[in-house]
Every structure is written in C-alpha cells, then in structure tokens.
Amino acid sequence: MSEPATQFELPSRSVFEPPSYPNVWFYVHDRLAASQDAAVSFMTGWLREQCGITDDFGHWKPPEASDSQARLGGLQPWQGGTDPTLHHAHDLHIRYYYVALRQTGKHHVTLRGAEGGSERYHRFAGSVHYEVADEHPAHPYIDDCPYCGRAGSYAGADGLFAGVHEPLGLELLLYGTIRGEAVARPDGRPVGGVQLMKETHALHIERIRPARPDMNIVDLAVVLIGPRGS
C-alpha cells in the first residue's frame, strides 16, 4: 500500500465535490486511448461488455456530481431472516467522474515508468459501492444482511456506506468477489472484475491508504492499464 497523492498525484475532492472521494481511479495509457474521452469510452465499455456493468436504471438517479453511472444488478439474492419483505438482491453501483477533471486540466498525468522513462496516462474516477437493489423499498441499507450489511469482518464498521458498501463495491469491481467469494451474474457467469484485464492488457492495481483529509473513504485503488508488452 502506498501513500496517497504523491506517486499518483490524485486530485482533491473539491475538483468535483462528490459526497464521497472517488474510491477507484482509472489511469489509461495514452498508447491505448488518445484522449480522456477515449479512455472513458474504453474503460466503461470494457466494464459493460466484460462484466455487465451498464446503465439500466430506467429512471432518474441522483448523479451526486457524477457524469454518468452504471450498475450490475440481481446479485447474491438473500432470502434469510424472518421478514420476507427484507429479502433482496444486490446492485454493484458505480458513478463515473470525468468532466470536471478535464475542465481543471487534471485529466492526464505523467508517471515515472519502471525503466525510469515517463509514461502518459489519461485518467478519470469512479465511486463504487455494493448495496440493496435500487428497486427494493429498503434500498440502499439492510443492516443485518450477511452480504451487504454489518457482518463478519465488517461487523464493527462505523458507517454502513463508507465502512461496508464502498469497500465491498471496490472488492467486487476489482476482483469479482464479495467477502472473498466469487460472485455470479444472474445468468451464472462470474462477474470477474477488472483483474480479468490482465489477460489482454498490462494491468496494475495499486491499493492506496486514503490518508488525506479530503479522502472520506476507507479503501482506495488506482488501476493502471497499458498495452500488453509495454
């Protein structure tokens, strides 16, 4: 785990004023995408095609300062507990942030490469979480759910959103797992997650300690994507 804001020059939350600091940052090498626009299309398109994460809400959702959003629904249906009205499936929900970064010139960054040269990346951010399905009357919180609630290693979490839903969403997005177990899509295929990209691209996932005061999250990752063989 590395220190924030130094190596990756992560922008301040005030750039776009979302309620939560975005917990996943996509850095797409300029040999894969010639602009930030192309990087956003590439990455959100990959997540839609490979993992089924798409905007199928069909109704207005609060953007919370984001530029677009998407989800993967119907996950891990829970039918435990005594109250059937609390039975629910889950959404992986992500909001994407890119326009404000572009407007403030923070949409690309040059990093030192492994061999000492410099590598140019286009970047944008996401805020991802795992929650009770959007359509469920109890959306987004059911506290005692073994999947999305304060259970297991998350039993002592302070906030259900920042302490449980966000770290679970990041785990599922990156690795295709919830609490270490592989999650299947409603059609039975695995979610897979961003780590699948290592089969086709040079992929590096860096977990960062969100120590800066504006980083009101508990887990943070930078995803570096480059062409294979770079």
Pick 159 or 227: Cβ nearer Zn ion? 159
CA distances from 87 to 61, 119, 200 (A): 23, 48, 38
- Taking the CA of residue 80 as centre, how many other CA atoms within 13 Å lie in the half-sphere pointing to its CB? 10
Residue 101 within binding range of Zn ion, rule CB under 5 A: no
Supply the minimum distance, in Å, between the C-beta of residue 147 and Zn ion.
Answer: 4
Amino acid at 114: A
Residue 128 within binding range of Zn ion, rule CB under 5 A: no
Supply the minimum distance, in Å, between the C-beta of residue 52 and Zn ion.
Answer: 16
User: In whole angstroms, what is the distance from residue 65 CA to residue 153 CA?
Assistant: 31
Asked if omega into 62 is within 30° of 0 (cis), the reply is: no
Site string for Zn ion, 135-154 (x = CB under 5 A): ----------x-xx------
Decide if 88 contacts 138 (C-beta within 8 A). yes
Residue 97 within binding range of Zn ion, rule CB under 5 A: no
Pick 145 or 194: Cβ nearer Zn ion? 145
Pick 21 or 121: Cβ nearer Zn ion? 21
Pick 119 or 171: Cβ nearer Zn ion? 171
Supply the minimum distance, in Å, between the C-beta of residue 229 and Zn ion.
Answer: 37
Residue 165 within binding range of Zn ion, rule CB under 5 A: no
Residue 75 within binding range of Zn ion, rule CB under 5 A: no
Pick 125 or 145: Cβ nearer Zn ion? 145
Contact residue for Zn ion among 11, 16, 20, 93 (CB under 5 A): 93
CA distances from 116 to 110, 159, 164, 184, 209 (A): 12, 41, 38, 41, 24
DSSP codes joined into one string, 114-175: TTS-EEEEEEEEEEEEEEE-TTSTTTT--TT-TTTSS-GGGTT-S-HIIIIIHHHHHHHHHH
Residue 10 within binding range of Zn ion, rule CB under 5 A: no
Binding site for Zn ion (CB under 5 A): 93, 145, 147-148
